[in-house]
Amino acid sequence: MEYEAVIGLEVHVELKTESKAFCSCTTAFGGEPNTHVCPVCLGLPGVLPVINRRMVEFGLRTALALNCTIAPMCKFDRKNYYYPDLPKNYQISQYDMPLARNGYLEIEVDGEKKRIGITRVHMEEDAGKLIHVEGPNGDYSLVDYNRAGVPLLEIVSEPDLRSPEEARAYMEKLKAILEYIDVSDCKMQEGSLRCDANVSVRPKGATSFGTKTEVKNMNSFRALQRALSYEIQRQIELLEKGERVVQETRAWDEDKQVTYTMRSKEEAHDYRYFPEPDLVPLAIDQEWIEKVRAGLPELPDARRERLVRQYGLPEYDAGIITGSRALADYFERAVALFPDAKQVSNWLMGDFLRLLNAQGLEPNQAPVTPENLAELLKLQEEGVISIKIAKQVFEEMFATGKGAREIVQAKGLVQISDVAELTPIVERVLASHPKVVEDYRNGKEKALGFLVGQVMKETKGKANPSLVNKLLKERL
Ligand SMILES: [Zn+2]
């Protein structure tokens, strides 16, 4: 039997506000443990939370960028559970009246576009962090509340995804949008972008859903894709053997590349949600919504279309370049100075991204600025350096952060286009290869290539090849 997977994703995004969701403590990453705390985020008795306006604005920005409908009225609720990283023993979240609902984003897999529904977007606060220590007298845990109370958005998708590739494409698009609207750092490794998946399988074409499992602990796009592939295969094998899928929460083990049971349905928490009595319901007026909407930047899909239209870029190039706002910004700055857009995109998709990825850098951290790249391309276009030398200079620019002209001059890489300088070399080559010269004169055209090669060798690749051709032909 042929099966298909049904996947929905729950994504948590840490918002990059200056202060926490309900107090004025800093959200700065790191810091000495338990120094970014106050009575509110430590849950001491008698304190009152205050809603961070900026968190709501970032939530609106995200919801609008995801084509959601903003609720005219939303409220906060308490999600109750006991865990040492949660000082209040409840998390302030939103339950039945979230900030926004019914949005979508568009993905493309194997050239096919597909709209993925967004069920809801809601605001909540993060928990602290437990650090487990192995001590000589037994293991123990330390708790750091610096992260407790940092604002999060939870973005829940419809179960519209049908493969691990689609899930990955969804995450990549969501991350790109969040970066474009500048609400989060979106670092999966550092936990500012986290993702849980609901996965089930069913016979292909069926309309009802199979029993689902929830998979957690996937810390990269690659982990997400592999965990889903594993889990889908596991469920199919169970069904093929005539067994049942058990509804449970499973975790991805990156080392073993398997999912394993974390807790069964019977152990699932009953969160006993109830309205947060210390916070007023939030009525967001239309004027504010429209102001936030008007302030949204151009989003990835729109920018991709514009790059194709405005610069004549192929769809493929435009897709890669607009996959990151920083890369698209870089591209447009370089093209403003060097208008051959396809050349710029070739360099970006080739040597630039290769060197960037090798060093784990973002485009805006590249040692080569758009100005410097444009300068290099100009030197090549003007014939000052050859394409081969240009690649060599680019590596050097990337390693040192120096400008193209500076490197070309310091290393004496300037292409030789001076007739007076090339003539003696050309004549020397001709004089030392009389047999080849004779072959050429007898009609063996290939002999010319050999002679050009000899001149290039003598000049360490710096001679202007078309000029060398011309000078040789004049003498043959
Ligand atoms: Zn605080």
CA of 30 from ligand 1 middle (Å) equals 15
Q: Which neighbouring-strand residues pair with 156?
A: 10, 120
CA of 142 from ligand 1 middle (Å) equals 19
CA of 272 from ligand 1 middle (Å) equals 25
Structure confidence by residue, pLDDT tens digits, 424-446: 999 999 999 999 999 999 888 88
Query: Rounded mean pLDDT of 111-139?
Result: 93
pLDDT at 257: 94
Distances (CA, A) of 104 to 9, 66, 146: 13, 6, 33
CA of 153 from ligand 1 middle (Å) equals 18
Residue 269 has pLDDT above 80, yes or no: no
Structure confidence by residue, pLDDT tens digits, 160-201: 999 999 999 999 999 999 999 999 988 888 888 999 999 999
Q: Number of helices and strands (H, E) in the chain?
A: 16, 16
pLDDT at 67: 97
Structure confidence by residue, pLDDT tens digits, 60-112: 999 999 999 999 999 999 999 999 999 999 999 999 999 999 999 999 998 89
CA of 123 from ligand 1 middle (Å) equals 17
Tell me the Ramachandran region of residue 110: left when phi exceeds 0, alpha when psi lies from -120 to 50, beta otherwise: left
CA of 186 from ligand 1 middle (Å) equals 23
What is the gyration radius of the CA atoms in the chain, in angstroms? 30
CA of 9 from ligand 1 middle (Å) equals 30
CA of 16 from ligand 1 middle (Å) equals 16
**What is d(CA 117, CA 1) in angstroms, rounded to the nearest whole number?**
28
CA of 88 from ligand 1 middle (Å) equals 12
CA of 164 from ligand 1 middle (Å) equals 39
CA of 38 from ligand 1 middle (Å) equals 4
On average, the pLDDT of the chain sits at 93
CA of 182 from ligand 1 middle (Å) equals 23
CA of 177 from ligand 1 middle (Å) equals 29
Does residue 55 contact residue 17 with C-beta atoms inside 8 Å? Answer: yes
What is the share, in percent, of the chain residues with pLDDT greater than 90? Answer: 75
Residue 268 has pLDDT above 80, yes or no: no
pLDDT at 250: 95
CA of 92 from ligand 1 middle (Å) equals 14
pLDDT at 35: 96
CA of 45 from ligand 1 middle (Å) equals 13
CA of 218 from ligand 1 middle (Å) equals 29
**Do β-strands 248-253 and 213-218 pair in parallel, antiparallel, or remain unpaired?**
parallel
pLDDT at 279: 95
Query: Rounded mean pLDDT of 48-59?
Result: 97
CA of 80 from ligand 1 middle (Å) equals 19
CA of 37 from ligand 1 middle (Å) equals 4
SS3 of residue 362 by DSSP: coil
Going by pLDDT thresholds of 50, 70 and 90, the confidence category of residue 277 is very high
Structure confidence by residue, pLDDT tens digits, 301-345: 999 999 999 999 999 999 999 999 999 999 999 999 999 999 999
Q: Which neighbouring-strand residues pair with 463?
A: 416
Residue 26 has pLDDT above 90, yes or no: yes
**What is d(CA 275, CA 336) in angstroms, rounded to the nearest whole number?**
53
Residue 389 has pLDDT above 90, yes or no: no
Going by pLDDT thresholds of 50, 70 and 90, the confidence category of residue 221 is very high
Angle subtended by helix axes 286-294 and 53-65, to nearest 10? 70
CA of 53 from ligand 1 middle (Å) equals 15
Cα 233 versus chain centre, distance = 27
Query: Rounded mean pLDDT of 383-410?
Result: 87
CA of 48 from ligand 1 middle (Å) equals 11
Cα 364 versus chain centre, distance = 13
pLDDT at 411: 79
Residue 270 has pLDDT above 90, yes or no: no
pLDDT at 58: 98
pLDDT at 333: 96
CA of 178 from ligand 1 middle (Å) equals 25
CA of 23 from ligand 1 middle (Å) equals 5
CA of 148 from ligand 1 middle (Å) equals 8
pLDDT at 386: 81
CA of 32 from ligand 1 middle (Å) equals 15
Residue 367 has pLDDT above 90, yes or no: yes
Angle subtended by helix axes 446-458 and 465-475, to nearest 10? 120
pLDDT at 7: 97
SS3 of residue 190 by DSSP: coil
Residue 295 has pLDDT above 90, yes or no: yes
CA of 130 from ligand 1 middle (Å) equals 18
Does residue 452 contact residue 423 with C-beta atoms inside 8 Å? Answer: no
* C-alpha closest to that of 12 among 81, 75, 62, 52: 62
Going by pLDDT thresholds of 50, 70 and 90, the confidence category of residue 44 is very high
SS3 of residue 36 by DSSP: coil
CA of 26 from ligand 1 middle (Å) equals 8
CA of 50 from ligand 1 middle (Å) equals 11
pLDDT at 421: 86
CA of 146 from ligand 1 middle (Å) equals 8
CA of 340 from ligand 1 middle (Å) equals 52
